[in-house]
């Protein structure tokens, strides 16, 4: 019959191992999700590239781009869009982007600007609600597998806020998917729209002599909201890929820790059992000697 | 002179059709447009309607609601966030396009 100490250690080993089963499963799921998310990022690329090309062509045809969505206003109120995940257990994924956004909000407030907060994901919502920020819009259930319609909804609301001058600029705080190993929290200016820089993806052959139906200005007016949706969609896809990558890494580390802990605990259990046996033997020997000696 | 040209129908979630064609019909905000090879460079805004692509082994139709058409050097690109490939004819494509428009109205509400 094992002593209380040995039993306690064995119980801990069991608990560590059942946690390990969960973290390993989560790691495998995240790994599968990264692949899918990366494919979706790649599939969205042609659309964005073509759209950049069209905007550059319009810029070329009209000399300069003019549209309310492109014009810089003196900011009095800044909109801050924070993109996080709905669920945790993703290492530093949420905290690093929230930290970046929080620092920016404090900076804006010190500069005497009003801030309006928009959140994607339950984590950002919880953080800003706990700190008593009023959240203008919170989107949930988006980040796991973002759909284009999500990007459209977000873009429409931001455009409306911008058009009615409730905000004079919108910044997004999100995570850029650099590689499977590196994801960085970044800041990105959403509104006013910054038109794509010439040849930034090397695809465009800017051509002259286009016929525009309707006028270039009108096409630009239709195009810019679509452009915004497209870039927000790209941002959501990258954030999603980053989330899965961060979760995979965190769960891999957790699984490895559990393995290490199991090893240490097993050794402790063995030592305790050994000590127990030694004690028992010395008791028996001691008892026998006492009897024979008497 | 080339008689074929490259067509790509691109949506944010995927390239839904890509290939060589010898004729393309689409509805722009200014009216219907027919494209043959060596069309002049054009940029147009698409309306709600059917797009037909005729290629060497048949034709493809799609319902489209909004988006842009760019023609440049025998390279035709349709950029749209609402498109659906349809089996059968132009009628079905038109119906699909109307359905996409209705979906937009519903989302707005």
Q: Which of A215, A233, A249 is the last residue of a domain?
A: A249
Same domain (yes/no): A65, A76: yes
Same domain, A179 and A285: no
Q: Quick check: is A6 in a domain?
A: no
How many domains, in total, are found in chain A?
2
**Does A165 fall in a domain?**
yes
pLDDT reported for residue B1: 58
Residue A5 resides in a domain: no
User: Where do the domains of chain B lie, and which CATH numbers do they carry?
Assistant: 5-108 (2.60.15.10)
Does A34 or B93 have the greater pLDDT score? A34
Closest CA to A194 of A231, A156, A157: A231
More confident residue, A290 or A200: A290
The answer to whether residues A67 and A81 belong to one domain is yes
Give the predicted TM-score (pTM) of the model.
0.82
Instruction: Please write the tens of the pLDDT for every residue from A138-176.
Output: 888 888 888 888 888 888 888 888 888 888 888 888 888
Query: pLDDT class for B16, splitting at 50, 70, 90?
Result: confident
Q: For residue A275, what are the domain limits?
A: 11-20+251-293
Are A117 and A203 members of one domain? yes
pLDDT at A205: 53
The nearest CA of chain B is from the CA of A84 a distance in Å of 21
Average pLDDT of span A44-52:
85
Residue whose C-alpha is closest to residue A171's, from A220, A108, A214: A108
Nearest to A229 among B28, B43, B81 (CB): B81
| Beta carbons of B79 and A219 less than 8 Å apart | no
List Cβ neighbours of A16 (8 Å cut-off, separation of 6 or more).
A258, A261, A262, A265
Same domain, A121 and A159: yes
Q: For residue B103, how far is the Cα from the chain centroid?
A: 19
CA atoms of B81 and A41, how far apart (whole Å): 16
Residue A240 has pLDDT above 80, yes or no: yes
How high is the pLDDT of residue A206? 54
Least confident of A8-17, A184-193, A257-266, B64-73: A184-193
Query: Alpha-carbon distance A255 to A239, whole Å?
Result: 24
Same domain, A200 and A255: no
Q: Nearest-CA residue of chain A relative to B10? A: A47
CB B96, CB B62: distance < 8 Å: yes
A159, A282: one domain = no
Tell whether A241 is covered by a domain.
yes
Q: Distance, in angstroms, between A233 CA and closest chain B CA?
A: 8
Count chain A–chain B contacts defined by CB atoms under 8 A.
Answer: 87
Task: Please give the average per-residue pLDDT across A237-248, as a whole number.
Answer: 88
What DSSP letter does each residue of B6-62 carry, written as one string?
EEEEE-SS-EEEEEEESEEEEEETTEEEEE-TTPPPEEEEB-EEEEEEEETTEEEEE
* CA nearest to A149 within chain B: B107
The answer to whether residue A183 sits within a structural domain is yes
Nearest CA in chain A to B44: A213
Residue A204 belongs to a domain: yes
| pLDDT, tens digit, 9 for 90 and up, residues A18-45 | 999 999 999 999 898 888 888 888 888 8
Average pLDDT over residues B39-44: 85
A130, A262: one domain? no
Domain shared by A137 and A267, yes or no: no
One domain, residues A229 and A104: yes
ipTM of the complex: 0.81
How high is the mean pLDDT of chain A?
A: 84
pLDDT tens per residue across span B48-91: 888 888 888 888 888 888 888 888 888 888 988 888 878 777 77
**pLDDT tens-digit map of A166-221:** 888 888 888 888 887 888 778 888 878 877 765 555 444 555 677 888 887 788 88
The answer to whether residues A189 and A260 belong to one domain is no
Q: Do A58 and B79 count as a contact with CB atoms less than 8 A apart?
A: no
Amino acid A261: pLDDT: 92
Structure tokens of A22?
């969960």
pLDDT at residue number A260: 92
Do A120 and A264 reside in the same domain of the chain? no
Judged by CB atoms closer than 8 Å, whether chains meet at A57 and B43 is answered as: yes
In this prediction, residue A262 has a pLDDT band, given cuts at 50, 70 and 90, of very high
Single out the residue of A244, A258, A240 nearest to residue A90, CA to CA: A244
Question: Would residue A257 count as lying in a domain?
Answer: yes
Q: What pLDDT is attached to residue A207?
A: 59
CATH code (residue A164): 3.40.1380.10
Is residue A280 in some structural domain?
yes
């Amino acid at each position: 019959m094992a002593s209380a100490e040995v039993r306690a250690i064995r119980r801990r080993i069991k608990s560590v191992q059942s946690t390990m089963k969960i973290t390993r499963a989560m790691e495998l799921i995240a790994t599968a999700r990264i692949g899918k998310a990366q494919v979706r990022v790649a599939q969205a690329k042609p659309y964005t590239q073509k759209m950049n090309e069209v905007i550059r062509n319009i810029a070329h045809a009209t000399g300069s781009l003019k549209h309310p969505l492109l014009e810089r206003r003196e900011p009095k109120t800044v909109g801050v869009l924070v993109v996080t995940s709905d669920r945790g257990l993703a290492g530093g994924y949420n905290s690093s982007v929230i930290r970046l956004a929080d620092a920016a909000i404090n900076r804006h407030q010190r500069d005497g600007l009003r801030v309006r907060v928009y959140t994607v994901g339950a984590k950002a919502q919880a953080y800003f609600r706990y700190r008593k920020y009023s959240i203008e819009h919170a989107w949930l259930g988006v980040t796991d597998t973002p759909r284009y319609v999500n990007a459209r909804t977000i873009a429409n609301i931001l455009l409306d806020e911008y058009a009615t001058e409730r905000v004079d600029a919108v910044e997004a705080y999100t995570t850029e998917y650099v590689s499977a190993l590196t994801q960085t929290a970044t800041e990105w200016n959403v509104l006013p729209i910054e038109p794509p820089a010439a040849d930034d993806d090397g695809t465009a052959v800017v051509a002259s002599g286009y016929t525009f139906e309707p006028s270039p200005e009108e096409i630009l007016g239709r195009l810019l909201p679509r452009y915004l949706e497209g870039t927000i969609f790209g941002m959501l896809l990258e954030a999603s890929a980053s989330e899965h990558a961060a979760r995979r890494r965190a769960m891999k580390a957790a699984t490895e820790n559990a393995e290490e802990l199991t090893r240490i605990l097993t050794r402790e259990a063995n030592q305790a059992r050994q000590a127990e046996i030694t004690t028992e033997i010395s008791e028996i020997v001691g008892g026998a000697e006492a009897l024979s000696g008497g | 002179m080339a008689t074929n040209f490259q067509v790509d129908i691109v949506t944010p979630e995927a390239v839904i059709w890509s290939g060589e064609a010898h004729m393309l019909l689409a509805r722009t905000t200014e009216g219907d447009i027919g494209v043959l090879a060596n069309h002049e460079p054009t940029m147009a805004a698409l309306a709600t309607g059917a797009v037909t692509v005729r290629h060497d082994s048949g034709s493809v139709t799609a319902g489209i609601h909004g988006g842009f058409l760019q023609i440049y050097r025998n390279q035709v690109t349709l950029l749209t966030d609402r498109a659906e490939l349809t089996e059968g004819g132009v009628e079905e494509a038109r119906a699909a396009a109307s359905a996409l428009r209705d979906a937009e109205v519903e989302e707005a509400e």
